[in-house]
Amino acid sequence: MNGDCTHKINNEKQKLMNTENLSKENENPILRIGAVMGSALFNSIGEWSKNAFPDAGSIEHIIKLKHEAQEVIEAPYDIKEYADCAIALFAAAYKADIAFFELINAIESKLEINKNRKWTKLSDGTYQHCL
């Protein structure tokens, strides 16, 4: 990635992390503080993963997420396994140049889509939306 592109991405991330850009619906100061703290944690995980695993890109972190998800299946009441999944997901998003608030907005948007879908139960007990 050239310097100009990296600079633009960093500027966009900075804009998204600015508390003034938080959703105006969330005027509650507790929610705003939580969002800022979530952004700081996201960036901390991203920076840590960049330094700890310099050769790993977003795909490698998604593969790690699959391994961590298997550990949740094996220990579904161990909160640390869920934390490992979140760390792997955040690291993957960070390496894909997705900012925290972009990810949160995408989750909110996708949740609304999913709420309006019809779902069917599959033979393995999971669910799939109907096309």
CB atoms within 10 A of CB 72: 16
Provide the pLDDT for residue 33.
Answer: 81
In angstroms, rounded to a whole number, what is the distance separating the alpha carbons of residues 6 and 2?
Answer: 6
Q: Taking all residues of the chain, what is their mean pLDDT, rounded to a whole number? A: 85
Give me the residue spans of the domains in the chain: 31-129
pLDDT for position 12: 47
pLDDT over 90 for what percent of the chain? 71
User: What's the average model confidence in pLDDT over 55-84?
Assistant: 98
| 60 CB-near residues (< 8 Å, 6+ apart) | 53
The two structure tokens encoding residue 99: 């900012």
Tell me the C-alpha distance between 8 and 42, whole Å.
20
* Lowest mean pLDDT, pick from 25-29, 36-40, 79-83: 25-29
Average pLDDT over residues 99-118: 95
Q: Is the model's pLDDT at 29 over the cut of 80?
A: no
Average pLDDT over residues 64-71: 98
Q: Is the pLDDT of residue 75 over 90?
A: yes
Q: Is pLDDT above 60 for 3? A: no
For the chain, what is the radius of gyration of the CA atoms?
A: 17
pTM: 0.76
Cβ-based neighbour number of residue 65 at 10 Å: 19
Asked if pLDDT for residue 23 goes beyond 60, the answer is no
Q: What are the CA-CA distances from residue 51 to residues 15, 22, 72, 117, 127 (Å)?
A: 24, 29, 26, 40, 37
